[in-house]
Structure 1
Amino acid sequence: MQGDFFAKRRRNSLIFIAILLLLTFASIIITEYNVVKGFTSVPKAVQWAFSNFYPNEKAMNKLPDILVKLKKTVLMSIAATTVAAVFAFLFAILGSHTTRINGFFSSISRAIATVFRNIDVAAWAMILLFSFGQSELTGYFALFFGSFGFLTRAFMETIDEISSSSVEALKATGANYFPIIIQSVIPSSISRMISWILFMVETNIRQATLIGILTGTGIGFSFSLYYKSLNYHAASLVVIVVIAAILIIEYISNYVRRVIM
């Protein structure tokens, strides 16, 4: 019996691999992608990067302006994430199986979170461009909507996973709805929620660079401007500054997680 089970798993795995290979070859044929040329061009690309894509003395003169744009991008990412976290917490309370008021509000909350979570931040930016144009407000709302959907789902799972036993205990004592939220849900899940918020801040700083290219704002616009004007040395400086900022934010986030978890 056990042998049949493992044989079935191996057969299913082989079928999956065969389908995956078939789709890969079909994609290569349809797109006319030259696999050999793709791999052989990698050394040339690396050589070009080392020859052209590095900051020189002239590019370093643009560092103050790049840092100003980076500051705006980071602050916008933090603001969008924290405001989205407040709304996400409210919707998570309504949508969680542990703290929901009734099934109707829970279903509505989960449906809204699903819609917002499954639309990519870049897609939100393109949608919002029609309403707000190329402005920082477009980038802010794109990050806000993306963060709201992700955090709502994360908060729901956190509440259901961590707070269910304590909520049931308080309900058994006759506690009302709001005291349960204040005395049980928030204290038991706040550290995990802060961890999710920090993760979202890191993600949004990366996303904000792409959003800036679409909306013509922030550090992303600086990169686009330098790259399109063939100023590769300044563009490389933007990339280095963004990577450094992400690493610093990640270090701070990991330190905060170690403290609160």
Structure 2
Amino acid sequence: MRFDYFARKRWNALAFGAALILVTLAAVTITEYNVVKGFTSIPEAIRWAVSNFYPNEKSLEKLPSIYDKLVETLLVSIASTTVAAVFGFVFAMMGSQAMGVGGALAFVSRSIATLFRNIDVAAWSMILLLSFGQNVLTGYFALFFGSFGFLTRAFMESIDEISSSSVEALRATGAGYLSVICQSVIPSVIPQLLNWILFMVETNIRHATIVGILTGTGIGFSFTLYYKNLNYNAAALVVIVIVGTILLIEWISNYVRRLIL
């Protein structure tokens, strides 16, 4: 019986691998992608980048402008994350099984979280462009909606993992819903919630660059502007600033995690 189980698992794995290879070959054939040419062009691309894509003395004059756009990007990312965390916590409390809300309210809350979580930030940007145009507000709402869906689901799972004994004990003493939240739920899950918020801030700073390209705002717009004007030296400086900022934010985030967890 045990042999049959492992044999079936092995055949399933082989069948999946064969199907994946067939799909890959079909995709390469339909798109007319030249695999050999794609890999052999990598050295040439590296040579071009080394020869053209680097900051020079003239591009450093753009640094104050790049810095202003970077600050705008950081502020939008942090603001959208923190506001989304507040709304996400409220919806997570309504959808959590541990809180025992249940019924239509929990179903609606979970459905909204699932819907918002499965629409990518780039898709939100394109949808909102139709209503708000190319401005900071479009980028803010795109990051907010994406963060809201993710954080609601993450908060919901964190709340469901807490022990229900403390919640039941407080309810047995006649404590109200808000008292249970403040005295049991929040103290139990706040380290996990802060961890998810920090993770979302990191993610949104990365997403904000792509959103800025689509919405014409922030440091993403600076990169697009310089690149389209063939100012590759300034575009390279933007990339270096973005990478440095992401590494710094990640270091700060890890340091804060070590303090609170």
- Tell me, yes or no, whether TM beats 0.5: yes
CA distance in 1 between counterparts of 2:25 and 2:173 reads: 63
Tell me the CA shift for residue 146 of structure 1. 0.4
**Map of 2:200 onto structure 1:** 200
Give the letter for the 1:188 counterpart: S
Instruction: Say whether the 8 Å CA contact 1:163–1:185 is kept in structure 2.
Output: no
1:170-249 mapped onto 2 (5 Å cutoff): 170-249=170-249
Amino acid at match of 2:36: V
Matches of 1:229 and 1:163, distance apart in 2 = 58
User: After the TM superposition, which residues 21-170 of structure 1 pair with which residues of structure 2 at under 5 Å, given as runs?
Assistant: 21-170=21-170
| Cα distance in 2, alignment partners of residues 45 and 209 from structure 1 | 23
**Length-normalised TM-score, structure 1:** 0.98
Deviation at 1:172, TM superposition (A): 4.0
| Structure 2 residues without counterparts, runs of 5 or longer | none
Cα RMSD (Å): 1.0
Between the aligned partners of 2:225 and 2:100, the Cα distance in structure 1 is 48
Deviations 1:139-170 (A, max 9, x none): 00000000000000000000001243432333
Report the residue type matching 2:236 in the other structure.
Answer: S
What does the per-residue CA deviation read over 1:83-128, in whole Å, with 9 as the maximum and x for residues that have no partner?
Answer: 0000000000000001142321000000000111111101111111
Cα deviations across residues 230-257 of structure 1 (Å, max 9, x unaligned)?
1111001000000110011101110111
Cα distance change, pair 172–8 in 1 and its aligned pair in 2 (3 A): farther
| Alpha-carbon distance between aligned partners in 1 of 2:39 and 2:173, rounded to the nearest angstrom | 67
CA distance in 2, matches of 1:11, 1:173: 57
Q: Say whether 1:6 aligns with 2:6.
A: yes
Matching residue's letter, 1:32: E
Distance 1:49 1:164 in 2: 57
CA contact (8 A) 1:209 1:218 kept: yes
Specify the SS of the correspondent of 2:97. coil
- C-alpha displacement at 1:175, in angstroms? 2.9
State how far apart, in whole Å, the 2-side matches of 1:147 and 1:120 are.
10
Segments of 5+ residues of structure 1 without an aligned counterpart are none
Q: Equivalents in 2 of 1:11, 1:165: separation in Å? A: 46
> How far apart are 1:3 and its partner, in Å?
1.2
**Count of residues in Structure 1 that have an aligned counterpart in Structure 2:** 261
SS in 2 for 1:57: coil
Which aligned runs of 4 or more in structure 1 are off by greater than 4 angstroms?
none
- Shifted more, 31-40 versus 166-175: the winner is 166-175
The 3 A distance-change label for structure 1 pair 163 and 57 is farther
Identity %: 69
Sort the Cα spacing of 1:92 and 1:66 in 2 relative to 1 into closer, same or farther, 3 A. same
Amino acid at match of 2:226: Y
1:72 shift after superposition? 0.6
Query: Within 2, Cα distance between the matches of 1:242 and 1:163?
Result: 41
Amino acid at match of 1:85: A
